[in-house]
Structure 1
Amino acid sequence: MPVFFFALALTPNHNESRILWVFVALHLFLYPSSNGYNSYFDKDEESIGGLKHPPKVTKDLYWISLVFFLIAIGIGATINFSFALMLLIYGLVSMAYSHPWIRIKKYPWLSWFIAGLFQGYFTFAMAYAGLSKLSWEVLYKPHVFIPGLLTSLMLWGNYPLTQVYQHKEDSRRGDRTLSLALGIKGTFLFSSSIFMITGAAFAWFFLDRNQTQILWVYLAAMTPIMLYFLTWFNFIRLNPIKYANYNWAMGMNYFSALALNAFFIYYFLENTQILQALGY
């Protein structure tokens, strides 16, 4: 959702109907479809995502995920062909992530790169194209590529942390995730280095746009996330096995989601000057 709001903040052609339908296509159908489809093939028995005790998957989940996928593409087609095609590509890559025939998930660096690329840059470009009713050629435009790459940096930093409590589950399935390859402490060192690069990149982006005030708001929004991360990292250094758990990982997700969504909604309102236009 932060990626959607970031794209919305930079979109030149706002239209209330398109904003609604792009949001619905992505968040109510495409993402749930992806999540359900991957969950079906992962068949997780331990904590995963937002579920501490995931139920056993059934064939119904598989079929519902495909129906949701088709609905997302159908909604995309009402906007334009390019947006529908990008929804299709995102969904197929997501399916390849966990499907046993390909299972990108079992390749640590490849899965890290592809997940961050498609959930960040590609999603940003896809949302931008849908919101503005533009073609897939936006993928190559600098004004889309650069902020899109920033969103990928965010995800490349956070992605290994979402795997840090799943080492036993991933090992059982034969998936060598990046966190498993790096080890628990290595995961935190790696993520902290990406976070520093991400912060510097966003600072450059806002300063290049002469948005110093936005930069300070961004840094304020990132502060609780970094404090939580550093606190968790400190506990990990004391006892990696004990603190690399579901509750700490979900706490990181919740803090990140809350702060990032709040910031990018603010950035959308400020960058588009909607509040000023309404007299606020």
Structure 2
Amino acid sequence: MEKVINITQRISMISTSSVQHLRIPFSLFLMPVFFFALALTPNHNEWRIIWVFIALHLFLYPSSNGYNSYFDKDEESIGGLKHPPKVTKDLYWLSMVFFLIAIGIGGTINLSFALMLMVYGVVSMAYSHPSIRIKKYPWWSWFIAGFFQGYFTFATTYAGLSDLGWDVLIKPHVAIPGLLTSLMLWGNYPLTQVYQHGEDSRRGDRTLSLVLGIKGTFLFAAIVFMVTGAAFTWFFLARNQSQILWIFLGAMTPITIYFLVWFSFIRLNPVKYANYHWAMGMNYFSALALNAFFIYYFLENTQFIQVLGH
């Protein structure tokens, strides 16, 4: 009974601000990677799909968000929080509990998947921890964030969904789409930093957006987005999926229009329009359009739509 009371007391000590800093809804922005892996996974199992999703989106990503918030101690807007509350000590422990739960869930599928989740978590911790702080190295942070949130997460998701091991990381049918997801993130990642120049500068973090400048960030993103579009075009055509390609391009259209409109305002007044609202709008447009597309791609690739039609 005493143990139950102690646990209840500890739970009651978790502050509202700590729960906010987990930014669970922010996981929406990384869901396209999950759905892309799901679309290409040949061995579907209902329980694995549910547990992989829960491990990643309800525990691993929130753990990473909370841990990074704890060490960043942001006072200005961050992804998913326009007015971030002050962090408290319980945020650190809450993020670690979420991390352990994610690994525990991973272990119910297989050891390799659990270890992959652990590697992702450790790298995300190194991103903000003061003793390493990858975040202060502009090109390294850009590459590592895009690689692990894209390629590595795609391979991890694929391994979890199919109950496979580390060898998926070097399989071409996993590596190629995995790199495509990294390309998407490498294009968008600097755009998430354009409204944080002041706080990043004061903290000594030389982010890629700071190095490139606001206009330079948009030019860089435009180039990477064009490369990404060409790479996805090649991918779908190589799979003889020209119809899917047109739907993909249709999904990318509102994202492209939003980006071009935002860029046109940036050219007029970079300081005024490089703000939280425009950056989050870009994220929401991208997440909604890409999630919708990859869910459709999953249904089409698995012929689920045709089955429903009969």
Alignment TM class, shorter chain as reference: over 0.9
| d(CA) in 2 for partners of 1:133, 1:277 | 25
TM-score, normalization by structure 2: 0.90
Deviation at 1:277, TM superposition (A): 2.0
| Aligned: 1:265 with 2:295 | yes
Partner of 2:309, secondary structure, is coil
Find the structure with the greater CA-based Rg: 2
| d(CA) in 1 for partners of 2:309, 2:275 | 47
| d(CA) in 1 for partners of 2:308, 2:169 | 32
Residue identity in the other structure for 1:266: Y
Residue identity in the other structure for 2:62: P
Deviation at 1:278, TM superposition (A): 2.9
Deviation at 1:279, TM superposition (A): 3.0
Deviation at 1:50, TM superposition (A): 0.8
Which residue number corresponds to residue 145 of structure 2?
A: 115
Q: Which residue of the other structure, out of 230, 242, 245, is the alignment partner of 1:215?
A: 245
TM-score, normalization by structure 1: 0.99
| d(CA) in 2 for partners of 1:247, 1:159 | 16
| d(CA) in 2 for partners of 1:275, 1:67 | 39
Partner of 2:51, secondary structure, is helix
| Aligned: 1:135 with 2:177 | no
Partner of 2:108, secondary structure, is helix
| d(CA) in 2 for partners of 1:39, 1:12 | 37
Which residue number corresponds to residue 25 of structure 2?
A: none
Render the CA deviation track for 1:58-115: whole Å, top value 9, x for unaligned. Answer: 0111100000000000000000011001000000000000000000000000000000
| Identity %, equivalent residues | 85
Alpha-carbon RMSD across the aligned residues, in angstroms, is: 0.5
Deviation at 1:276, TM superposition (A): 1.4
| d(CA) in 2 for partners of 1:40, 1:240 | 30
| d(CA) in 1 for partners of 2:233, 2:206 | 34
| Aligned: 1:230 with 2:248 | no
| d(CA) in 2 for partners of 1:217, 1:251 | 22
| d(CA) in 1 for partners of 2:33, 2:194 | 23
| d(CA) in 2 for partners of 1:29, 1:51 | 18
Structure 1 unaligned regions, length at least 5: none
Which residue number corresponds to residue 244 of structure 1?
A: 274
Which residue number corresponds to residue 47 of structure 1?
A: 77
Residues 1-280 of structure 1: pairs in structure 2 closer than 5 A: 1-279=31-309
Partner of 2:71, secondary structure, is helix
Aligned residues: 280
Partner of 1:278, secondary structure, is helix
| d(CA) in 2 for partners of 1:58, 1:113 | 30
